[in-house]
Amino acid sequence: MNYYLAEQIAKDRLAEARAMATQARLMGSTRPKPDPLRVALGLALIRVGRSLAGQAVKSATGPRRATV
């Protein structure tokens, strides 16, 4: 490999690293967007369903006796 090619590869990598650093800085400066309404509503429904199912399961469990 000659010096000119090595220099060009180094310049390309350095330019790419600088671009990635700039992009990362821009991404870090933005505030995260809140979840859309449909996501928040879906998660809330899942929580309600799990709590209702948990109460139903807890009330249904009791001492069981095997009848032979």
Predicted local distance difference test score (pLDDT) of residue 60: 53
Per-domain residue ranges of the chain = 1-30
- pLDDT digits 0-9 by tens, 14-66: 999 999 999 888 877 767 777 789 988 999 999 999 888 876 555 555 556 66
pTM, rounded to two decimals:
0.41
- Residue-wise over 4-43: b if at least 16 C-beta within 10 A, else e? eeeeeeeeeeeeeeeeeeeeeeeeeeeeeeeeeeeeeeee
Is residue 1 very low, low, confident or very high in pLDDT (cuts 50, 70, 90)? confident
Phi, psi of 43 (to 5 degrees): -65, -40
Rounded to whole angstroms, how far apart are CA atoms 27 and 66?
62
